[in-house]
Amino acid sequence: MKRALNNDTDAALVASDARVRRAAMETLCNLDKAALALHAGTIVGVLADADDDVRLQAVFALSKLNAKELALHAEAIVIVLKDPNASVRQEAVVALGKLNKTLLARHASAIVSVIKDPNVRVRRAAVETLGNLHPAALVLHAGAIVGVLADPTVAVRKEAVQILFNLDQPALAQHAGAIVGVLTDHNDDLRCMALNFLSFLDQAELKLHAGAIVGVLTDSDARVRRVAVETLGMLDKVALTLHAGAIKNVLADVDEEVAYFVFVYFRRIKLNKCPYLPLL
């Protein structure tokens, strides 16, 4: 349906029967952006409806507006972040995520407030939405995202690490210590992600965390060990030599790729007369 509806639909949104109100909202949700904008003010009034499904459809309808129209109703959607229904809260977060980066930054604090929501879908949506921020705005909320690294759900923790990748170098370094803590996460993918994160650090910062990375060389997962060796391989020759003794036992790793990466590691420090080269 492309064109705007008559006033009967708007009137149906205040009908005493929730089924009528749901049907009216469903009809509105089928409108295109231009037609939907004509009813936006009425839909905002439905955000406080007693029926969960009506409120959910109302938020969804507003999320379909173009960015300019959506911005006009962002404040009303922010209020919905406190809705008693988790699905409605999630939809509100998703809707705010469709704002342009500048407007999203204005409401970032409100979104941060739900990253500890009791519902995992809401928490994940909040972290994903914060990931839409410009790096300059994201850094202001990086501390809150770091706190998500302790979330009980793997998918939420992964999203947090992925978003922290968007930080610039100074901010990356500032939160590297928290990422080091992820090296002991029970999820293999997260441990790999943490190592990849550390590999983006400049030499000075990477050296500070080299010891923690060396500790991962005994990880139970071969893929994690491979990434650990690759990350250590990004150190300069002097720093590599300092950790040569710790890595020598990895030459006998049961995983061929891990052993190969160690071989490359030692070849890089050959000029430093590494004592373990004869083992090759």
If you search the block for the tokens 């610039």, which residue do you land on? 168
Cα diameter, the chain? 86
- Whether residues 136 and 211 fall in one domain: no
* CATH number for 38: 1.25.10.10
Say if CB 244 and CB 274 are below 8 A apart. Answer: yes
- Whether residues 73 and 159 fall in one domain: no
Give the model confidence (pLDDT) of 22-52 as tens digits: 999 999 999 999 999 999 999 999 999 999 9
Give the model confidence (pLDDT) of 204-233 as tens digits: 999 999 999 999 999 999 999 999 988 988
Pick the last residue of a domain from 165, 180, 212: 165
Determine the residue type at 249.
N
CA distance 63 to 58: 9
User: How sure is the predictor about 256, in pLDDT bands with cuts at 50, 70 and 90?
Assistant: confident
- Whether residues 37 and 110 fall in one domain: no
- Whether residues 112 and 80 fall in one domain: no
Burial class (CB in 10 A: 0-12, 13-18, 19+), 220: exposed
Among candidate residues 131, 47, 59, the one with its CA nearest the CA of residue 97: 131
Quick one: average pLDDT of 56-73?
A: 96
- Whether residues 234 and 250 fall in one domain: yes
Residue that wins the pLDDT comparison between 13 and 142: 142
* CATH number for 157: 1.25.10
CA distance 71 to 76: 10
Task: Give the range of the structural domain holding residue 106, as residue numbers without chain letter.
Answer: 100-165
Output the pTM of the full model.
Answer: 0.86
For the cut 70, the answer to whether the pLDDT of residue 144 exceeds it is yes
Residue that wins the pLDDT comparison between 227 and 271: 227
Give the model confidence (pLDDT) of 240-250 as tens digits: 888 877 777 77
- Whether residues 137 and 174 fall in one domain: no
Say if CB 193 and CB 182 are below 8 A apart. Answer: yes
- Whether residues 184 and 229 fall in one domain: yes
Pick the last residue of a domain from 95, 121, 147: 95
> Radius of gyration over alpha carbons of the chain, in Å?
26
Q: How far apart are the first and last CA of the chain?
A: 72
- Whether residues 83 and 138 fall in one domain: no
Q: What pLDDT, on a 0 to 100 scale, did the predictor assign at position 266?
A: 66
- Whether residues 26 and 9 fall in one domain: yes
The domain total for the chain is 3
Q: What pLDDT, on a 0 to 100 scale, did the predictor assign at position 279?
A: 45
